[in-house]
Amino acid sequence: MSPDQEFKMAQLEIFLFGMPKIRVDGTAFTKLASRKARALLFYLALTEQQHARQTLAGLFWGEMSEANARRNLRVTLTKLKAELGEFLLVRRRTLAINPEAAIWLDVAEFENCIAATEPTLEQLQCAAALYGGHFLDGFYLRDAPMFEDWIRPLQERYRQMAMETLYRLAVYHTQQKQYGTGIDYAGRLLTLEPWMEEAHRQMMLLQALSGQRSAALAQFDTCRAMLSDELGVDPTEATTSLYKQILNEDIGEDLTDTAVSFPTPTLETPFQSPPQSPHFVGRLMLIGELSAVLKSAKSQQIHALVGMGGIGKSTVAVQLTHLLRSSFADGVLWAQAATAEPMAILESWAQAYGYDFTRIGDVESMAAAFRSTLTDKSVLIVLDDVRSMARIRPLLPNGNQNQVLITTRNQDLARSLNAQVWPLQELLPENGRLLLTSILGETRTGDEPEAATEICELLDNHPLAVEITAQRLKSRPRRRLTDMANRLRDEKQRLTLLAISDREVRASFAVSWQALDTSHRRVFALLGLFNGRSFTAEAIAHIAELDQYTIEDRLFALTALSLIREEGKTRYRQHPLLADFAREQLEEDTGEGKRFATYYLNFAQQHQHNYDALRPEWANMTIAMEIAYTQKLSQNVIDFAYALQDAWSARGRFIQARQGYNLASKSAQKIQDNAALANISLLWGKACVEQNDYEEATKLLQNSLSIYEHLQEKSSIANVLYQFARIALDQNQYEEAKEILQRCQNYYEEVSDQSGVAASKYQQARIFYSYGPNYRKSEKLAKEALIIQETNGDKYQIIPTLRLLMLIARQKEEFDLALTYGIKAHNFSEEIEDQGEIATSLYYLTTIYRFKGEYSQALSLADNSLALLKNIGNRRIEAMVKHQKGLIFSSLNEHSQALTHIQESYSIYKYLNDVLGQTYALRDIGDLYLKGSQPDKAQSTWFTAEQIGRNIAHKKLYESVVERLKQVAKPG
């Protein structure tokens, strides 16, 4: 083409009635294979306005993330530009049809034809000819619900317009006595709407007037059947009257004006909510309260479901909409606020009520127009996943009958809208288990109940995480729940497991992460160090190296975004799965681990005897000690052990203590600090003694003693010997215990350690109480010890001495004195908040109340003691308490329970190799057999007791067994 030739642009023709077609210069255009590309072209051509790319991405890919939706739009636009670029106006942020291009659109031509109030015959005929089928008939996009929502009301609108056009043409040609043409138009109308009675009546009239009486009568039968089948009604009086006139051949020209009115189109009440979840569990109280508020509201109110990603906000909202559907007469509207553009949402909503807003060019005008349509309506509007106030303001309605429900992670955003906040947290444990079961079935979870419970606990009952895990297990029917639980324990891999199809917990969390600025991201990532444990602002301020005010500001913001939650008045907690995600965002350790360890070491040192302060920090201090060990901060590990030794003992945390002493021992060896190694071995050995692990205790104490002897630390040597004496006493090796205690006392006296002297006297008093026994000498030594202890004000030593004096008074049947000693020991135990001492004191009081015959009080004390011992691990005292409960039940003549408890105590004594305890238990079990008229079992049991107790030093006990054997051996 030469430069002087006139440029001629191609003509684009688009047909949207019926199955859509495209022609370029009169030739069918088939190069555009992508349905999304064609749909985009149709949308741009029909709306005739510029659209933001973000709006179009939401319209066609609203089910995807914003980034993926934009990417798909770019790919589709590339295809469209390659084939029809000259017809498009493509700018950086917007798309539109080129207004200067030669484009013909059948829908636009159709609307132009009937735009006038009274269109001409030619215009009506043109419109009828253009309507080749329903708007975009047979054209579907499966994964673009917003586009489908745009299509449906337009289909209805154009169908109604076509019906009116055809009806008017049929009536016109009837009036003009052009019956054949009128029949053609009436026939087309019935093809579109077979249930339209007015069209049937017009067809009957045309057929009768054209001499087709039989056809007219048959048309009535067709009309009656159609109305009955489709609508369940009979023909109206007007149709029946016309039928009778035709039947009686009483039809005339004066009937040509019959039925010229056109029915008002009716629209189905919109209900745009997604379908309900088939596995919805829990939240009943929340749904009940919120539904009651929404139904009874006298004025418009915004309600906000607020919670972390995947917590179930949208699921609850869906449940509510289905529950409240009948309460809102004009429907339920739903929008994906995070991905869909406000204008696209408003267009969709308007079309649901039969309005076309596509010609309105700005969002504010469109919002105003939509608000006016809702003035007299009762509608529930749901805005799902709200992240920006600006995006939803145009969507908020007016009117007292309309209610708004939003879901968001941002509490501040909800409050800025003056919304009533309804917080969502994890499912209750029973509902987490129910969700797992509802997907997997009762048989599968019932076969592995412990694993099912553990899975829910590891996921902290996070709904999305539990559902994904259950679906993964469902798709793998051979996989055991136990194996899944084992894999979920791996915190580094846990989030990777929580993904199936297009649903992923990590992706849900990433949405919140991407919304944070750099400063908040850093704090959020550091919170991963707590791994879901609670923490204070002071702790994270030290770790993050920020001042208190700044860190509190960061924490308030993260709380508002549902990334952490407040706990109590001063603490915060992050969901364990969010903590997994947070740790993934941590870069290489830049000192935060060391700061974590040093903060909690300082805390432990400052509060080592303030057990209330330590209580919420136990887990954090344990992890801090492990971090210090991992980072080779050996002295810190040792200092942790020293700082926590009294608290571990007082709170009965001996398992934790032994783990801590193990790390401290290794650390002392690494830095070759023999004195520290000896001290730690002694403390570790004492913890083993408390748990009756004498074999391990002996090894540790021997190691400690060797070092102290080398260092010539006499006071420390005495402390080790004291523990050896305790072991000997617990194992009824009284002679050995006496010898060790004498050595102890010599060392203590040599270094003028009066506390040690008192402790030695107490242990010697124990020996005389059990060995012989010699209560007079035992009482004398115990009182000497008590005088020293009271002078020193050492409550830890006073308590066991008082208990020993209580036992002596009990043996002397001085029960009131015994009770005085016992109560005083118990009060001291509570003062020092030592759980082990409290449990032991409760045991001793149990024995006194049993001797006094106050069995109800005795049983209550015994149960309280066992509840404490469950967490401490002192099996010896546990056995003794169970033994006492058995004796109480025996006194109450409840022999079955008595036998059960004493047999349990015997099993523990045997495990501990406690010969004295075994002998006592077997003697009393034999007594129960004899009471139960089982003398043979009694004799066999006593015989075993005699064999075991033959070498014990407790003569009185042994003689009582022998006497029983003699009695049962007597004839008769």
Tell me: the pLDDT tens digits for 62-87? 777 777 888 888 898 888 888 888 88
Indicate if the pLDDT at residue 809 is higher than 70.
yes
* Residue 165 burial class via C-beta count within 10 angstroms: exposed 0-12, middle 13-18, buried 19 and up: buried
Q: Nearest Cα to 61, choosing from 314, 421, 444, 344?
A: 344
Choose between 54 and 104: higher pLDDT: 104
Average of pLDDT values for 316-342?
88
Q: What is the DSSP letter of 530?
A: G
Task: Kindly report the average pLDDT of the chain as a whole number.
Answer: 87
φ, ψ of residue 250 in degrees (nearest 5): -110, 45
Please tell me the distance from the alpha carbon of residue 532 to that of residue 142, in angstroms, as a whole number: 41
CB atoms within 10 A of CB 788: 20
Phi, psi (rounded to 5 degrees) for 166: -65, -40
The residues spanned by each domain of the chain are 11-106, 114-255, 284-423, 429-501, 800-969
Given a cut of 80, whether residue 503 has pLDDT beyond it is no
Q: Of 296-305, 612-621, 623-632, 685-694, where does mean pLDDT reach its minimum?
A: 296-305
Sequence letter at residue 351: Q
Mapped onto helix, strand or coil, the DSSP state of residue 781 is: helix
Contact 463, 508 (CB under 8 A): no
- According to the model, what pLDDT value does residue 252 have? 63
Q: Are 917 and 880 in contact (CB under 8 A)?
A: yes
SS3 426: coil
Say how far apart CA 562 and CA 582 lie, in whole Å.
14
Give phi and psi for 151, each to the nearest 5. -70, -45
Where are the extended beta strands (E) located within 446-539?
Answer: 499-500, 503-504, 535-536
- Residue given tokens 């504010």 in the structure block: 364
pLDDT for residue 259? 40
Please state, as a whole number, how many other Cβ atoms lie within 10 Å of the Cβ of residue 494. 21
When comparing pLDDT for 505 and 260, which is higher? 505
* Architecture of the domain whose range is 800-969: Alpha Horseshoe (1.25)
Cα distances from 844 to residues 99, 764, 812, 822, 835, in angstroms, run 97, 20, 15, 7, 14
Band (pLDDT 50/70/90 cuts) for residue 31 is confident
Of the two residues 918 and 4, the one the predictor is more confident about is 918
Residues in the chain: 972
Distance between CA atoms of residues 84 and 616, nearest Å:
68
CA–CA distance, 569 with 901 (Å, rounded to integer): 44
User: Hey, is 911 helix, strand or coil?
Assistant: helix
- The sign of the torsion formed by the CA atoms of 688, 598, 632, 642 equals negative
Q: How far, in whole angstroms, is CA 44 from its chain's centroid?
A: 43
**Cα dihedral value 515, 520, 522, 526, nearest 10:** -110
Mean pLDDT of 229-252: 85
- Sheet with 332-336, side-by-side order of all strands: 332-336, 380-386, 403-408, 302-306, 420-423
Specify the amino acid at residue 306.
V
Greater model confidence, 637 or 251: 637
Residue 461 has a CB neighbour count (10 Å cut-off) of 23
What is the distance between the alpha carbons of residues 366 and 349, in angstroms, rounded to a whole number?
Answer: 11
Q: Using one digit for the tens of pLDDT, what is the confidence trace for 829-840?
A: 999 888 888 999
Q: Which fold has domain 114-255?
A: 1.25.40
Residues 202-231 have a mean pLDDT of 89
- 5 has pLDDT over 60: no
Instruction: Average the pLDDT over 134-151 and give the result.
Output: 82
Nearest to 898, CA basis, from 924, 918, 923: 924
Q: How confident is the model at residue 953 (pLDDT cuts 50, 70, 90)?
A: low
Three-state DSSP at 841 gives helix
CA distance 551 to 275: 42
Q: Which two tokens stand for residue 86?
A: 């000259």
As given in the structure block, the two tokens for residue 113 are: 């034809």
Distance CA 531, CA 198 (A): 72
Give me the pLDDT at residue 327, please.
87
pLDDT score for 85: 85
CA-based torsion, 633, 634, 637, 643: positive or negative: negative
Q: How many CB atoms lie within 10 A of CB 662?
A: 14
Under 8 Å between Cβ of 652 and 688: no
Strand partners, 94: 52
What is the per-residue pLDDT across 813-860, written as a single tens digit (0 to 9) for each? 899 999 999 999 999 999 988 888 899 999 999 999 999 999 999 999
pTM: 0.57
Radius of gyration of the chain (CA): 44
Contact predicate 455/481, CB 8 Å: yes
- Interval 564-570 mean pLDDT: 87
Give the per-residue pLDDT at 253: 55
pLDDT at residue 629 tops 90: yes
Longest dimension (CA), the chain: 142
Which long-range contacts link 352-356 to residues 24+ away (Cβ below 8 Å)?
A: 352/149, 352/153, 352/267, 352/270, 352/272, 353/267, 353/270, 354/153, 354/156, 354/157, 354/265, 354/267, 356/153, 356/154, 356/157
Residue 454 to residue 461: CA distance in whole angstroms: 10
Superfamily of domain 284-423, CATH level 4? P-loop containing nucleotide triphosphate hydrolases (3.40.50.300)
Q: What is the pLDDT of residue 576?
A: 85
Helical H segments across 771-854, by residue range = 775-792, 795-811, 815-832, 835-851
**One-letter identity of residue 672:** Q
Whether a cis peptide bond, with omega within 30° of 0, leads into 773 is: yes
* CB-neighbour burial class of residue 32 (10 A; exposed 0-12, middle 13-18, buried 19+): middle
With cut-offs at 50, 70 and 90, classify the pLDDT of residue 262.
very low
Element (H, E) at 68: helix 66-84
The yes-or-no verdict on residue 254 having pLDDT over 70 is no
The region of weakest confidence among 216-230, 351-365, 683-697, 778-792 is 351-365
Check residue 6 and give its pLDDT.
42
Q: What is residue 411's predicted lDDT score, i.e. its pLDDT? A: 87
Instruction: Look up the CATH number of domain 11-106.
Output: 1.10.10.10
Q: Report the alpha-carbon distance of residue 797 to residue 31 in Å, rounded.
A: 95
Query: Is residue 361 scored above 90 in pLDDT?
Result: no
Query: Is the backbone of residue 143 left (phi > 0), alpha (psi -120 to 50) or beta?
Result: alpha
Print the SS3 string covering 282-327.
CCHHHHHHHHHHHHHCCCCCEEEEECCCCCCHHHHHHHHHHHHHHH
Please name which of 41, 69, 37 lies closest in space to residue 340, comparing C-alpha atoms.
69
Cα–Cα distances (Å) from 317 to 295, 340, 406, 945, in that order, read: 14, 18, 8, 69
Helix (H) or strand (E) run with residue 772 in it: none
Quote the tokens at residue 237. 């009086």
- The DSSP element (H or E) to which 26 belongs, if any, is none
Neighbours of 972 (CB within 10 A): 2
Q: Is 528 left (phi over 0), alpha (psi -120 to 50) or beta?
A: alpha
- Matching fold, domains 114-255 and 800-969: yes
For 882-904, the pLDDT digits (tens) are 999 999 999 999 999 999 999 99
Residue 502's pLDDT band, with cuts at 50, 70 and 90, is low
For residue 477, cis peptide bond before it (omega within 30 degrees of 0): no
Residues 842 and 863: their CA atoms lie apart, in Å, by: 9
pLDDT exceeds cutoff 70 at 277: yes
Inter-residue contact 57 to 65 (CB < 8 Å) = no
Pick the closest to residue 161 from 113, 227, 231 (CA basis).
Answer: 113
Tokens 């790919």, residue? 75
Q: What is the mean pLDDT of residues 943-955?
A: 82
HSE of 968, CA atoms in CB hemisphere, 13 A: 23
For 692-718, what is the mean pLDDT? Answer: 93
The confidence score (pLDDT) of residue 267 equals 65
pLDDT in tens, 727-766: 998 887 888 998 999 999 999 999 999 999 999 999 999 8
Q: What is the pLDDT of residues 109-133, one digit of tens each?
A: 998 888 877 788 888 999 999 998 8
Q: What is the DSSP letter of 7?
A: P
